[in-house]
Structure formats: structure tokens, C-alpha cells
Structure 1
Amino acid sequence: MTAKNLSLVGDIGGTNARFALVDPGDVRPRHIEVLACGDYDNLDQAVVDYLQRAGAGSVGQACLAVASPVRGTQVRMTNNHWRFDTEDVRQQFGWSAFKVINDFTAMALGVPHVDEAHLVHVCGGPGDPRRPRLVIGPGTGLGVSGLVPTRSGWVPLMTEGGHVDFAPTDDLEMQVLRILKARFGRVSVERVLCGQGLVNLYQAHAEIRGVSAPLDAPEKITAAAVDGDDALARDSLRHFCELLGRTAGNGVLTLGSLGGVYLCGGILPRILPFFLESPFRNGFEDKGRMRPLLEYTPVHVVTDPYTGLLGAAEALSNPEV
């Protein structure tokens, strides 16, 4: 089947590539397939295989979200072996247009299209829908983006907000900073707020207590914390959630994002009950005289696993991308 009226969208990470098709003027993905990047030498092979699986011989245009910096036409994936030139790929498949955007930009663009059933309210009041939104999420790194509303739609902000300085607020965090500074030199907030950041935080807590830190992966720490039988893992994960709250609150004050905070990424949906009972809210609202602004700002966890595909579909027709 030829599908020139359809568009291809994708969300490509270090391990997996999610592909889907969308109809003109629609952002809802269909024929979603998740392919292992390691099974293909490069992007073009994966696209050919996906289109065959979807029964679409060809499509008219494409937009891919990639977990890597996007500069010019050359794309080098950060955590897998794929390398490609966007113009070469466009010509190879005969697409009228081919956009490649950062994966967290796509995450931000997808947020307004996420169904209410995939938004879990954490705290905050009604907010102001006329104001910007903050999109932030711990995963492999700490992604930070924003959405600015205009008369014609949303303008996504491409930031490196995960690399701002880690700012301690008490004696415990000063000790954490000293430990991580000895290891890394400069300590960004991403050093404590991502998968490896959780490991760093857990190891720092262990060093402060003078105990061993036997767990060496974020999923092991979260499992031990959620099970409730490992005090070190539990306290480290609670601290992680509080630090995420402080960082998100700082983002609200910086961006003026009274339109809401949207917490994305793969970590939080897997620990949702633990997270909802954590000190996140205290960290988020603890802004002194600015507390009323934070209490007014709604915070949601985004649980839709295909938010990036929604964003890639939005980017196809968004002139600001």
C-alpha cells in the first residue's frame, strides 16, 4: 500500500526506536512499533522494516525525535551507533519534508496532546493556562523544556536546564555536594537527578552514614526503596524526589510557568505510589515568600509512554520547530 497522505513519526533513544504513522492534521499515532536499535545498522534499515510491518510502502513526510543534539543535517546518536544525514535520508525515501528534533523538545510538544487519563495530579491549584508550562523529567539524563503559548500554538523551549548548578539547602546536601565535587569537580543538578544521579545520591548517603552501598543500578535502588526493607535506598529515593521538587520549583520561578509542571521520563511512572507520598511537594513549594505561586501551580506526572510520538506529530505542522 502506498500511503503518501500519511506521515511517519518516531522517537529514537539509545536502545529502542518507536515508530508510528499519523494522518494529515492528526497527532494520534497508529501502527505503533518499538524496534531495537541494535537490530539495525542504521536508521534507513529500521524505517524500511517498520514501513513493511505497517503495510505502508511509502509516506509523504517524516519527523523523528532523537536522543542527541541536533545541529545542521548531521545526526550522531549519543547512546547508539546510528549516524545519518537528514537530507540524504529525505532524498532516499522521497519525503517532501523531514524534521529531526531533540527528544525532550518532542516530549514537551506532546504534553498538550496527552489524554487526561495519562496525567496524574501531584499537587497545586488551577494555575493559569495562559502562562508557560514547564516540562521536566529524570531519565537517562535530566531533561528540561518549556512551552510558551502563542495565538497560533505552542513554542517549545530547547534548554540545557539539567546542567544548572546543584544548590544545597541544608547540611546534608552540603555533605552530598562535597562528596560529588570530589568525584566530578563541578556538580550539576543532573548529577543527582537522573538514573545514574540516583546511584550517585545513594552512594553519597552511604558514605555520610559510613555504611556500604551494595546496590549499583537505579532500578535496584528503586526496587529496594519501594519494597520498604532497605532504609538507605528508601531515604535516598525520598531525597531524590525532594530534590526534583526543589528543581521543578526553581524552574517555575525562572520560567513563570504558572500554566503547570509536567513530570516526564521513565523513572517516575514506575515508582508512582512512592513518589506521591514522597517529600516532592514540600521541596516544590518551599520557596519562602513565593510559596503561594507554587501552591497555585498544578503539577502532573505524565504516564503516556508515547508522549514523544505525539510531540513529533505536532512538530510536523508546528512552524516554530
Structure 2
Amino acid sequence: MANNKLPPEQHEGILDIATHAVVADIGGTNARFCRINLATFELDRIQVFPCADFPTLTDVMTAYSQQQDVPLEHVAIAIACPVDTDEINMTNHHWQFSIRNVRKSMRLKTFVVLNDFAAAAMSIVTLKPSELKQIGGGKITPKAPKAILGAGTGLGVGHLITLPNGNVMPLPGEGGHVDWAPTNEKEWAIHRFIQNRFGRVSAERILSGPGLETLYLALADYHGRNVAPLSAAKIGQRALSGIDTLALETVNQFFESLGGFAGNLALNLNTYGGVYIAGGVVPKLLNLMATSNFRARFEHKGRFCKVAEAIPCFVITAEYAGLRGVGQYLKQTIEQQNL
């Protein structure tokens, strides 16, 4: 780490000084594109595409370029899957592609691909205080490690560390796929229900949009009730309105499990820089999060409860944080390549 470089992200082409670039944040459900000014860091021409509407990544890239009249020269994308080789295979969608082949077929000068939660981690340094809602804990230690997690189509996890030169380095991983550990009788019943359905119970089976839907059915089974499946959006709406006690219990259980998981993540690197929660699920349910046992479970760490109590949690409320993280990563990469 003596040269203070970012880890070897997957990129193709010559990285040169550019004023504008196109960046994208691609999840299992939506692909968000925009143009970014790498000098001022302003975003414009933002457009969101449903992934299911396009057979391939290049199809949606072409659609964005044509509809927004933006040339594709320097492009960076964050994508919801491991980014370890030239071949990319999305975890929760069917897109597969070669980074090298995309750059050549689209005639791009630069094409950088990074894990979506590497981008989410990078976004932390771009956020304003008004774009963060603190949930317990003390003050951050600015240069200490940070953790980020987010529930959406899946469960993303990452960390961020500060290098001696002041740059930041994301540490992506697949922490959303670790085993989910029940802690009481109700959670053991939930575990058995999910295990019977899927064989293995990962954290993502609980802490995601689809996980919220499964959790609703698991709790109905626990109470001996026969209910029709509901979408995650409907469960959230019914819980917020107070018209469905099962939906409310589902959301509260979701936040309890999220708190335990986030607290475990905090202990992995002693993240005194904070734990940051992104994704599409939590910001919509903030009012219920405040009254849930999220923070109690976060801090329930036995002999290390004092450590957990000191670490603050934040919910990211910025709408396009992932896109800013991609831009920050690209800008830092370009600067380093031109040293």
C-alpha cells in the first residue's frame, strides 16, 4: 500500500483528463445513469431504466446516450455483483458481459467497472450532513474505518478506509451472503421457515426487499395465520399506516435483524467512522426505524457493547449517492493514473 493506489479495479482504455463522464449505478432492478462534471462534481441528465426492459448492458447504455444526447467516451459503472475479472455476471439479474468487449464495441475511451457497494462506500465522502440521518451512537472519528450496507433487491455490504495521502479506498465484499443467525425462539421459527424454502438462510434472505416479503410469510406461519403474499412496498405501506399488525411486526423484525447485522459489521473493522445504511428499503421506513429495536440490537454485543454504543449509524437520504460514489471513484482513479 506504499504507493497509496486504489485496488486494481477492472477498467479498459486510457484514463486521461476529462471534464465530463457518464456514470451509472446498476442494481438488480434499476439502472441509473447520469452525466457528471468531474471538475465541479455536478450531476445532470439523470435517467432511470428498468433493467428488465433491456436484453443487455450495451442496449441500455445506447438508450441513455440516444435519449439524453450524451456521447459515450469516459464511462464508469457500479454493478451489483463481484468485480474480480474481465467477465461480469450479475447476481440478481441476467446481464453478463466482458469489460473489454463492451469498451471495444461501444468505442469508449475509458470504461471502469466496480462493485456497487464499492461505489456506495466511496459516496460517503461526498455526502452533506443534511443527507444523513443519525440513528444513535456518538460522534464519528473522521479517518477511522467506515462500513456501509444497503437493503434493496439484495443486501450490499462494504467498508471504506482512509489512506495516508488522504484518498479513500473502498473494500467491497459479499457480506450480504453470510449466514443469518437467529437469537430467540421467534427467529428460530423464521429460520426454519426460510430453510425449508431455500435450503440455506443468508442475511440477504431477510435483509432485502424480497427478504421483507419472505419475512412476512414466515411470521404469518409462526402465528398460524394463512395470508396472501404481499410486495415489500405494500408491507411497508401497511406497516406505516398501522392497518396491518402483521406488516408492522414484519418491519420491526426486519429492523431488529438489520441492527444485529449492522453491529456485527461495525465490529469487523471497529468502524468508528460510522456505519452507513443505503438502499431502497430503509429510507422509506425511517419513521418505523426510530421506534424499532434497531439500535438496541446493534449495541447488544456482550463484552463489546461499549464499543458498539460509541459507533454512530447513519441512514443515507441522498437520492443518487451511488452515482456520486462512482464519480468520486472515477475521478480519483484518473488522478492517480496521471501522477
SS at match of 1:215: coil
Alignment correspondent of 1:22: 36
- Whether the 8 Å CA contact 2:38–2:331 is kept in 1: the answer is no
Opposite residue 260 of structure 1, the aligned amino acid is G
Tell me whether 1:48 sits opposite 2:62 in the alignment. Answer: yes
- Whether the 8 Å CA contact 2:151–2:209 is kept in 1: the answer is yes
Matches of 1:265 and 1:253, distance apart in 2: 21
- Whether the 8 Å CA contact 1:26–1:313 is kept in 2: the answer is no
Tell me whether 1:66 sits opposite 2:95 in the alignment. Answer: no
Opposite residue 104 of structure 1, the aligned amino acid is F
Q: 1:154 to 1:176 in 2, by over 3 A?
A: same
Alignment correspondent of 1:101: 114
Tell me whether 1:265 sits opposite 2:318 in the alignment. Answer: no
Q: 1:274 to 1:37 in 2, by over 3 A?
A: same
Alignment correspondent of 1:148: 161
* CA deviations over 1:89-141 (Å, ceiling 9, x no partner): 32344433211112122111112212222211111110322211110111111
* 1:197 counterpart (196, 208, 211): 211
* 2:135 counterpart (98, 122, 139): 122
Tell me whether 1:283 sits opposite 2:297 in the alignment. Answer: yes
- How far is 1:26 from its partner? 4.4
Give TM-score, length-normalised by structure 2.
Answer: 0.86
Q: Unmatched 5+ residue regions in structure 2?
A: 1-16
Alignment correspondent of 1:90: 103
Opposite residue 196 of structure 2, the aligned amino acid is A
Matches of 2:132 and 2:69, distance apart in 1: 32
Matches of 2:302 and 2:134, distance apart in 1: 23
- How far is 1:282 from its partner? 0.9
- Whether the 8 Å CA contact 1:12–1:67 is kept in 2: the answer is yes
SS at match of 1:250: helix
Instruction: State how 1:165-244 maps to structure 2 within 5 Å.
Output: 165-244=179-258
Matches of 1:115 and 1:41, distance apart in 2: 37
Matches of 1:44 and 1:167, distance apart in 2: 40
Matches of 2:98 and 2:274, distance apart in 1: 36
Opposite residue 75 of structure 2, the aligned amino acid is A
Tell me whether 1:253 sits opposite 2:252 in the alignment. Answer: no
Measured on the aligned residues, the alpha-carbon RMSD in Å equals 2.3
- Whether the 8 Å CA contact 1:215–1:221 is kept in 2: the answer is no
Q: 1:265 to 1:112 in 2, by over 3 A?
A: same
Q: 1:205 to 1:58 in 2, by over 3 A?
A: closer
- How far is 1:236 from its partner? 1.6
SS at match of 1:130: coil
Q: Which stretch of structure 1 is more off in the superposition, 257-266 or 12-21?
A: 12-21
- How far is 1:71 from its partner? 3.7
* CA deviations over 1:22-64 (Å, ceiling 9, x no partner): 22344432221223344444333433332344443343x2111
Q: Which stretch of structure 1 is more off in the superposition, 125-134 or 38-47?
A: 38-47
Matches of 2:215 and 2:62, distance apart in 1: 42
SS at match of 2:305: helix
Q: 1:187 to 1:52 in 2, by over 3 A?
A: closer
- How far is 1:7 from its partner? 1.2
* CA deviations over 1:219-258 (Å, ceiling 9, x no partner): 2211111111211111121011011001100111112111
Q: Unmatched 5+ residue regions in structure 1?
A: none
Matches of 1:172 and 1:166, distance apart in 2: 14
Give TM-score, length-normalised by structure 1.
Answer: 0.90
Q: Which stretch of structure 1 is more off in the superposition, 303-312 or 77-86?
A: 77-86
Q: Which stretch of structure 1 is more off in the superposition, 288-297 or 258-267?
A: 288-297
Q: Which stretch of structure 1 is more off in the superposition, 239-248 or 126-135?
A: 126-135
- How far is 1:9 from its partner? 0.7
SS at match of 2:22: strand
Matches of 2:291 and 2:149, distance apart in 1: 19
Opposite residue 228 of structure 1, the aligned amino acid is G
Opposite residue 318 of structure 1, the aligned amino acid is Q
How many pairs does the alignment contain? 318
Tell me whether 1:305 sits opposite 2:336 in the alignment. Answer: no
